[in-house]
Structures are given as structure tokens and as C-alpha cells.
Amino acid sequence: MSFTSGSRCASPTSTTGSRRRSPTKRSTGDNDVVIAVFGNRMSGGREFVEVLSKFQDDVEGNSSLAYSLRFSEPFALDGRRVRLVLVPDLDRLEPLGNNAWILTALAKFLVSEYYAGRRISGAIYTHPIRERGIGPSVKRHIDMFRAICGREFSENVVVATTLWDRIDINNGAHNHEQCYQYHYKELVEEGATILEHNNALDSAQDIVRRLLRTQPEALRLQTELMEDGISLDQTNIGRLMKPVIEKQIVVRGGQVSGLKQEMHDAQNDPDPSKPVEVEQVLAYSSKMISEIEDEIVQLEEAERGLVEFHASNVFLEDRGSAKGVDMLLSPTSGTFSRTSSIPISPTPHPWKSRIRSAFNVRSLSDFFRRVSRVRLRR
């Protein structure tokens, strides 16, 4: 099957009417549509949203918004009220544990929507056409996206190729073909659609219109959390993400071991003529160990967030708060909540850093006193 830069791949004949409908679903008004927008940080997802609407939280200079679930202002299209949810890059580890906190925020939103009896009308995956489809990062992103959506949601998916204005038309056509062959062929065969977005309003509206015709459904992640009752780390996306965090913890553990070995070697250096060098090694190693151990704590907290996340906890949180995320997209309230982004970073624990730093400084000071006594005796 061949594609050119302007081609579109229509999905097979819809079988939506024969899908199993969840008994917990309730009507929230045929005119209200919620669509999630995925993609890596440079894929043009934010620009796609801004062509159609604007973000309520779009405060200039607020860099933290790049790491939060963000909601657009509602806009009208073909008599429907649409709102887009921009999901940050799930493969972006920095700040440390960022990917896990993004996933936790997304899961909380999806669970809250499920509890409220609502379903997502569609998901848009933005792919920058200047990227060829053979890189490992592209496959990793697609795998994460498919793990969240699942096969049953494929008819509600549009892959939007973006940034056509930044590449030669022939190169774009070549990349489009590679992307399809390597990553999107199976997704399209399951019912998804590939559409071109040229950064113009009409192409963005065409993409949204495609999803207006679909029946809202539960994503795989919602089904796993709500119907299967498993923790976030045991879901398909959780099983992809957790090993990445564990690997980073192991890497940093090795770095700490190496620095401790350097300190040990410096402390046992028989050459008394290098006290300055020894002090420099110890000071630098101690500082680095403290910083890396803080990073390990951040990663462990992110991993624990995945393990401890259960749908039932969200339900209890929402009941104990001012209606939680449920009000955020409530179609019956007439307006949307002023809350327009869900922060993803956990509350830091500075006391852990202070305790660790104090311990390291104390150990280093004791060592210097011992060295000084030895040198005086000599």
C-alpha cells in the first residue's frame, strides 16, 4: 500500500455498532466531545491544539506546563462542543521520573472520566513527518500509545502527520511511506486513520471531524484500571514504563558505587604528598553521591507512584475533594472548570536531601580530622 504526502488512509468499514458497550456508561450529551492528543515533545501536538483553540493555562514563561496534562478551551465544530486534552511526552524521563508522573496524571483523569460515565471520543497521535519511521524512539512512542489505547480503540484513532512545512515534499512523502510500513500499518488495518495536518485550520478540523463520527469508547488503560482492577504498573503501559525507571535506578546505583570506590582509594592512598588532591576527590565524590542519591529517591518515588496507583484511590480522592477531575470536563455545568492543567510532579521531600547532605558532610569532616591527626603524628 502506497502513500504520498497528501494522501489519506481511510479506515475500513466501521464495526462500531457491534462493539460491546460498558454497562456503566451513561449519556452526557451528544454535543460534547473530548479528544486526547498524544505525541513527543517536538511532534507538533501543541501547535495542533492551538490552531483550533487555546489553552486556559497558557501563561507565557511557565515552563512547567510542558510537563502537565493540559486542556484547551472548548470550541464549536459542526454543532458539537469539543475540548482537546494534550498529553505530554510519555517517553521524556527528565525531570527525573517525569514519564511516570505524566502517566499517573493521565490515569487519574481517565479513571475520573470513567467513574463519571464518560468516554473519550478519540485519540490523535501527532507524528512529525520529518522523522523517518525506522528510529527506536519512534517505535517506543508508538508502542506506548498503543498500550494506552488498545486494539478495541483503533477506530477512534487518527495519526496526524505534522510539520509538512518544514520538509521537502518528496522527502516528506518518503518518510510518510516508511512510517506507515514500519509502525502504522497494523494500526490502520485495525481501523485507525492517517491524515495529513499542514498547520492550517481546515486540515485540523478535518482530523477532528473524523473523530466526531466515532462512538466514544473506553481506552485499554481505563479498562485495565477499572474493570480488571490492577495497579498502574501492571497495565500494558505500566509494564513498558516501569523497567525504564528501574534501569535508571540501577545505573545511578552503579555510579554511587563507583564514586564510593574512588573515595575509598583516595583515603587509602599511601602517598602523603597529595593531601590537596585527596581532599578534592573526597569533596567532589561526596557532592556527587549526594546528588545522585537524591535522583534515586526521585526515581523510586516515581516508581512507587505507579505501583500504588489504583482506580479505587482516585474514587476516594474525588469524593473527598471538590469533585476532583470530574468537574473538569463536566458537560452539564455549562462551563469548564478554571482548573486547566493537572500537575504531574510529586511534592519534593527536601528533608531527605538535608539529612543525606548533613551525613555526608559529617563523614567527610570526621575523615579530615583523622587524616590531620595521622599527619601530625608523622
pLDDT in tens, 160-211: 999 888 888 888 888 888 888 888 888 999 999 999 998 899 999 999 999 9
Between CA 229 and CA 314 the distance in angstroms is: 12
Q: pTM score > 0.85 for this model?
A: no
Give the residue from 229, 246, 281 where a domain finishes. 229
The pLDDT of residue 330 is: 42
| Whether the bond into 95 is cis, omega within 30 of 0 | yes
Its sign, for the CA torsion 18, 23, 24, 29, is positive
176 and 127 in one domain? yes
One domain for residues 207 and 259:
no
Q: Are residues 208 and 254 in the same domain?
A: no
Residues 197 and 290 in one domain: no
Residue 223 shares a structural domain with residue 274: no
Question: Which phi and psi (to 5°) does residue 119 adopt?
Answer: -130, 160
Crossing angle, helix 45-52 and helix 201-212, to 10 degrees? 90
Region for 109 from its dihedrals, namely left if φ exceeds 0, alpha if ψ lies in -120 to 50, beta otherwise:
alpha
Asked whether residue 198 falls in the same domain as residue 278, the answer is no
Q: What 8-state DSSP symbol labels residue 309?
A: -
Predicted local distance difference test score (pLDDT) of residue 212: 94
Q: How do residues 5-26 score in pLDDT, each as one tens digit? A: 344 444 333 333 334 334 344 4
Q: Does 292 reside within a domain?
A: yes
349: pLDDT strictly greater than 90: no
Overall domain count for the chain: 2
For residue 4, tell me if it sits in a domain: no
Boundary (domain end) residue, out of 203, 229, 255: 229
User: Could you tell me the residue range of the domain that residue 68 belongs to?
Assistant: 22-229
The answer to whether residue 334 is domain-embedded is no
224 & 243 share domain? no
- Neighbour-count burial of 241, counting CB atoms closer than 10 A to its CB (0-12 exposed, 13-18 middle, 19+ buried): buried
Residue 208 located in a structural domain: yes
Q: Which of 41-45, 57-61, 263-267, 308-312 has the lowest mean pLDDT?
A: 57-61
**Residue type at position 161:** T
- Are 77 and 221 contained in the same domain? yes
Could you tell me the pLDDT band of residue 375, with boundaries at 50, 70 and 90? very low
How buried is 377 (Cβ within 10 angstroms: 0-12 exposed, 13-18 middle, 19+ buried)? exposed
Are 213 and 255 in the same domain?
Answer: no
